[in-house]
Every structure is written in C-alpha cells, then in structure tokens.
Amino acid sequence: METRKVALANRPNTWSISRRSLMNQCPRAWILKYGFAKRQGGFNQHLRNISDWSSAWRLMQRALRGVIIDRLTAHHRGNRWKEEDLAGKIRNRIIGALFRQKSVLEIIETRTGKASELRSQTSTRRVDRLVEIACYRFHAALQSHPIKDILDGRITRWYLFSRLEKTKLQNYDLHISPDLVWFSGFTCHVLRFAVQDVARLGEDKRLENFAMVEWARNQIGLPANPERYMVENLYWNGGKWKIWKEKCTHRHVEDAIKMIYSDMKAMRELHYKLGLSCDLSQIPLAKNKLTCRSCGHRDTCPGGENLYLAKLEQSALEMSKASGKFR
C-alpha cells in the first residue's frame, strides 16, 4: 500500500509529442528522463541533464526553428531583420547549446573513465556544415507557404504561440499548442514547424497533430467548432519544405484525446514498473539502434554499447526472475 502511495505521488501527468515519441522509441530513455523528475538535486539532476543531451543535428534543427520564429516575430513587431547576421545567429544557438552540454560530457567521462562517444559531435567543421545546412533551409522556408504569404502581407490575421503553453485535460497537463495560427476566410489554420519528417504521416502522427485543435478550442477568440480547423505541418523532406494538411472533424479530436489517455496509461504503467527500488533492469530498451546513436545515455546504458546483446541479456534476466517466482 505504501509503495503504491509513493508511486502515485510521482506519477507522470504531462503529455507532449516529444514525450510520446521518446516513450515509443525507448522506454528506458523515457524513464531516465521523466521517471526521476520529482526528485531534485544530486544524481537525479545529472540524470536529467544527460537525458536532455541532444545531438548536433538535433541542435541545428532547433536553431533553425528558432530563427524562423524570430524572423516572423521581427515582421510582426515591424523590426528590421538583418539578413547578414543569419549564419551568426544560427551558429550562436548551436554553439551555445553545445557549450551548455559540455558539463554533461564531463560527468559521463568521470563516471566511465574514458572519452565519451558523444564527443565526435562537437568538431568545428561539423558545426560549420550544420550552419550551412540551416541557412539553406531557412531561405527555402521563407519562400514557402504560409511564411512567404505572411511576409508578403497576403495573410494578415496570424499569431505565434509557444510550445510551453499548457492545456488541462482532467488532471493532465498537455503541451499541444501549434507554433502558428492564421485565418483564411472562415477557416482557422493551426500549424507546427516539424522541421524534419517522413513523407507519409502514419495514423499516430496524424492524431498528434489533431490534438492542436483541442488546444485551440480552449483559446478565447479561436473557433470552438473543430470543423472550422485546417491542421498543418511544415516539414523538410527530400530536399525541400512540404506541407501536410488535413481538415479537422469532431471525430479527429475525439480520437486524438483517446490516444492521449492511452499514452498516459502506458506512461503510468511504465512508471509503476520502475517501482520504488528504481530497478532499471525491468524497463525495455530502444526498439531501434538508431535511437541509441543520439541518446545521451549511450556511454552508460547496455543498449548504447550493443542493443542486440543487451536485449538478449534483459530477456534472459526476466525469464530467470519469472521462473524464480513460480518455483
């Protein structure tokens, strides 16, 4: 009874697309990032920092999204945009983030006593190349709908929103806001900059996008009727920016909310599985070794060294535990 009480006190209550995709890609990485969240300081803080480690490629994508939003903000406020500063702005964002992650590498190397596998991401040549890629994609984004239409004044009623905004759904905090909202006639468009995505969105990804409408319906001044929304993603794929869009219906929003409830249930079950003793050996590893390549725990997790072997060892351990129970 006592165990359950403590577990309930720390149980997960936040949903976002990034949390969902981390849980689906690697339950262990999810637990390391969020399972210890309520216990601050000391080693738990180190765990959080290691979990927050991002690859240089991911930092480039984040920097790109940041400068696109800065460009739109400057337009909205009537501020002059200095195009010649673009590469510097992107470089500062990437180098600043790499610098903040430096202490994470030092902690990992102190623990393992050897150079971290993650170090290869930080060479100057690699950063130069990433800045070039981001500049190219930035200029292409400015020529793409809806950004071009906003900058040229064809879209006049538009708003930017932060992804940190929270929407309440029962006891859960959802981060489901779009990056950009605009009106064309009777239709309200809600859009996320996905920065990089696959050509065809799966059913799950579609539903994640329709969750934006639940956020919008709770906002003063935006339509309450889901049928008035067009849900969109601007994403980079195959060397160019593409738009995915689909008209929303009541059914889409209902299905998105069902998906969120089912995710929250899965997150709580995973959290219970960790238990009070915080036994990580029970928590499943990544589905694909590509996930391990950009994971901050790569140096210290058995999956980071050899995912296939680590999975075999884990299932052998589970079998021996299960046979012990029935003896």
> Would you tell me how many other CB atoms lie within 10 Å of the CB of residue 161?
17
Give whichever of 61 and 314 is closer to ligand SF4, judged by the CB atom: 314
CB of 286 to ligand SF4, least distance (A): 4
What is the DSSP-derived secondary structure letter of residue 120? Answer: G
Residue 228's SS3 state is helix
Structure tokens at 19: 């949390």
CB of 284 to ligand SF4, least distance (A): 9
Give whichever of 48 and 91 is closer to ligand SF4, judged by the CB atom: 48
CA distance 108 to 183: 48
Dihedral sign for Cα 158, 160, 163, 164, please: negative
- The CB-nearest residue to ligand SF4 is 303
Asked if 247 and 262 count as a contact pair (C-beta separation under 8 A), the reply is no
DSSP character string of 77-119: HTPPP-GGGHHHHHHHHHHHHHHHHHHHHHHHHHHHSS--GGG
Give whichever of 90 and 285 is closer to ligand SF4, judged by the CB atom: 285
Residues in touch with ligand SF4 (CB under 6 A): 26, 28-29, 285-286, 291-292, 295, 297-298, 301, 303-304
CB-based contacts of 93, cutoff 8 Å, min separation 6: 59, 62, 63, 66, 67
Give whichever of 36 and 193 is closer to ligand SF4, judged by the CB atom: 36
Give whichever of 32 and 64 is closer to ligand SF4, judged by the CB atom: 32
CB of 259 to ligand SF4, least distance (A): 23
CB of 52 to ligand SF4, least distance (A): 13
CB of 43 to ligand SF4, least distance (A): 16
Asked if 52 and 79 count as a contact pair (C-beta separation under 8 A), the reply is no
What is the DSSP-derived secondary structure letter of residue 179? Answer: S
Give whichever of 29 and 141 is closer to ligand SF4, judged by the CB atom: 29
Give whichever of 61 and 291 is closer to ligand SF4, judged by the CB atom: 291
CB of 23 to ligand SF4, least distance (A): 11
> Would you tell me how many other CB atoms lie within 10 Å of the CB of residue 165?
15
CB of 124 to ligand SF4, least distance (A): 26
